[in-house]
């Protein structure tokens, strides 16, 4: 029975992968006559919110989760890197289209078309989950920098990270800030390089990537739910939608009407390339982290990883100094990328829910409440690390909160993006809408399984 369910779950992603391949072939025909450097430059210019959203998905807590999957089960769960890719891309594309077509963020759209009480409930859970995640990520970043420079004190490193990230978000123009996030995505290649420095049994790794297998044990169910929670996360939904709006404002489209009327077929094509590229990049990184830990820690009998920093330390004797340094640098870089996204997404949701002025393009004096939420979430996350709250418990509770809120938000995402009155010609097709509901059902199951596995 379980085998049949898994096979059914894989049919939809396979269809979407075929569609993705056709889209890629079409794009290839368009650029085949162009000079390679020119084509690469145009492709890079196309990338934006989708790339940064995908990269932010691989935050230090996600890295810890993937590392644990590889350490505890070897290559067995590599299929998740393939399985989650089309689902992530479909959801994030819906979010991006909502932002582009409506000219408003996700929370503003939910508030306009549905119950404000439900929105406030989801927003509260999102803030809690994001703050817990910020605290865990900050702790991991400090551990990462102290792996490389043990002489740096915990407090000094924490203060330096928090202050620098807050200053960037508050006082840097959106145009410059978005470029910073985009280029910071390159840090994720450190995990690809660290895995390539390890001896991998490629035939075994690829076999487990395309052929799913599960033991259905309690620990594995929790881990799979954790992976689903860290890849299909509510904070990414809000961030993606709002960043599409910010990009339009950057182009000079200041009013909602201007943003709605400016959407062209070329913009939709660019959006899809951006989103699918970003989600593909995110899942490639997931693959290499699981593979690196599976090829080293699992075969050496090290099956418990408490944090991303512990994963780096554990890799050192088996993968060598280069892999250790790359893994540690990746923790710091992904934290610098992901924490602003976590704080920003919660702030967008809260500000839109209460009708406050919001947007990273605004100055502090014009959006005190919006930036205030960012500061508060960062300070609470910082405080967690001085109250000796267990980071693994924080991540588990964060996963529970994400598991509870994700299905609610997915319900609204699919409904809004399938509503012709809201989306016009950019409405979901029947296949995309059907897959959207399938993803929602899967996240409901994942949420129930997470709560049951932890508290049952």
* CATH number of the domain encompassing residue 229: 1.20.1740
Q: Structural domain tally of the chain?
A: 1
The two most distant CA atoms of the chain are separated, in Å, by: 60
List, for residues 96-153, the tens digit of each pLDDT value.
999 988 888 899 999 888 888 888 888 988 898 899 889 888 988 888 898 889 899 9
What is the arithmetic mean of pLDDT over 352-371? 90
Range among 48-52, 90-94, 238-242, 305-309 with highest mean pLDDT value: 90-94
Instruction: Please report where in the chains the tokens 């790794």 appear, as a residue.
Output: 205
Q: Which residues of 143-175 are buried (b: 16+ CB within 10 A; e: fewer)?
A: bbbbbeeeeeeeeebbeebbeebbeebbeeebe
List, for residues 154-195, the tens digit of each pLDDT value.
999 999 999 999 998 898 877 788 888 888 888 888 888 888
pLDDT score of 6: 43
Choice between 224 and 30, residue whose per-residue pLDDT is larger: 224
What is the arithmetic mean of pLDDT over 361-386? 92
Provide Rg for the chain, Cα atoms: 21
Confidence of residue 414 (pLDDT cuts 50, 70, 90): very high
pLDDT score of 418: 94
* Res. 280: pLDDT tops 80: yes
Confidence of residue 24 (pLDDT cuts 50, 70, 90): very low
Which tokens hold the place of 347? Answer: 């702030």
Q: Work out the angle at residue 367's Cα, subtended by the Cα atoms of residues 417 and 422, and round it to the nearest 5 degrees.
A: 15
Residue 195's SS3 state is helix
335 closest CA partner among 232, 235, 224, 187: 187
Judge whether 280 and 258 are in contact, CB under 8 Å.
no
List, for residues 292-328, the tens digit of each pLDDT value.
889 888 888 888 877 767 777 777 777 677 777 888 8
| Half-sphere CA count of 144, side-chain side, radius 13 A | 27
Asked whether the CA dihedral 409, 414, 417, 418 is positive or negative, the reply is negative
Q: Which residues of 256-294 are buried (b: 16+ CB within 10 A; e: fewer)?
A: eeebbeebeeebbebbbbbbbbbbbbbbbbbbbbbbbbb
The whole model's pTM is what?
A: 0.84
What is the arithmetic mean of pLDDT over 50-65? 86
Domain region containing 394: 2-455
* Residues 21, 428: Cα–Cα separation, whole Å: 19
Judge whether 406 and 232 are in contact, CB under 8 Å.
yes
Judge whether 289 and 323 are in contact, CB under 8 Å.
no
What is the arithmetic mean of pLDDT over 284-294? 92
* Res. 441: pLDDT tops 80: yes
Confidence of residue 261 (pLDDT cuts 50, 70, 90): low
Judge whether 148 and 363 are in contact, CB under 8 Å.
no
What is the arithmetic mean of pLDDT over 279-293? 92
pLDDT score of 2: 43
Choice between 43 and 207, residue whose per-residue pLDDT is larger: 207
The 10 Å Cβ neighbour count of residue 66 is 32
């Amino acid at each position: 029975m379980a085998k049949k369910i898994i096979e059914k779950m894989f049919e939809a992603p396979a269809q979407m992968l075929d569609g993705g391949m056709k889209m890629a072939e079409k794009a290839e025909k368009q650029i085949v006559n162009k000079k390679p450097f020119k084509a690469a430059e145009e492709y890079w210019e196309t990338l934006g919110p989708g790339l940064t959203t995908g990269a932010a998905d691989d935050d230090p807590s996600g890295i810890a989760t993937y590392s644990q999957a590889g350490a505890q089960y070897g290559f067995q769960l590599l299929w998740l890197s393939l399985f989650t890719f089309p689902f992530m891309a479909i959801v994030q594309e819906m979010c991006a289209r909502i932002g582009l077509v409506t000219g408003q963020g996700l929370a503003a759209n939910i508030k306009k078309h549905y119950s404000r009480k439900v929105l406030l409930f989801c927003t509260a859970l999102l803030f809690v989950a994001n703050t817990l995640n910020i605290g865990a990520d900050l702790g991991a970043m400090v551990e990462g920098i102290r792996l490389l420079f043990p002489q740096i004190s915990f407090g000094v490193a924490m203060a330096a990270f928090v202050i620098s990230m807050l200053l960037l978000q508050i006082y840097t123009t959106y145009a410059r800030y978005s470029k910073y996030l985009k280029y910071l995505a390159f840090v994720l290649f450190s995990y690809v390089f660290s895995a390539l420095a390890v001896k991998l049994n490629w035939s075994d790794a690829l076999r487990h990537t395309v052929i799913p297998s599960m033991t259905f044990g309690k620990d594995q169910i929790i881990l799979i739910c954790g992976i689903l929670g860290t890849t299909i996360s509510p904070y990414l939904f809000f961030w993606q939608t709002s960043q599409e709006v910010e990009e339009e404002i950057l182009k000079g489209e200041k009013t909602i009407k201007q943003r709605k009327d400016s959407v062209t077929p070329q913009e939709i094509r660019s959006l899809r390339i951006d989103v699918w590229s970003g989600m593909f990049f995110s899942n490639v990184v997931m693959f290499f982290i699981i593979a690196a830990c599976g090829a080293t820690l699992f075969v050496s009998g090290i099956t418990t990883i408490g944090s991303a920093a512990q994963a780096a330390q554990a890799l050192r004797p088996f993968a060598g100094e280069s892999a250790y340094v790359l893994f540690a640098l990746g923790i710091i870089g992904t934290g610098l990328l992901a924490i602003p996204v976590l704080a920003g997404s919660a702030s967008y949701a809260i500000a839109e829910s209460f009708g406050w002025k919001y947007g990273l393009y605004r100055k502090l004096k014009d959006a005190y409440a919006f930036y205030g939420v960012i500061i508060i979430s960062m300070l609470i996350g910082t405080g967690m690390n001085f109250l000796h709250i267990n980071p693994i418990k924080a991540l588990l509770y964060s996963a529970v909160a994400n598991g509870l809120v994700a299905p609610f938000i997915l319900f609204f995402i699919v409904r809004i993006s399938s509503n012709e009155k809201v989306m016009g010609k950019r409405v979901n097709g029947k296949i995309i809408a059907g897959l959207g509901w399938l993803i929602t059902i899967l996240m409901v199951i994942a949420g129930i399984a997470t709560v049951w596995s932890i508290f049952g």
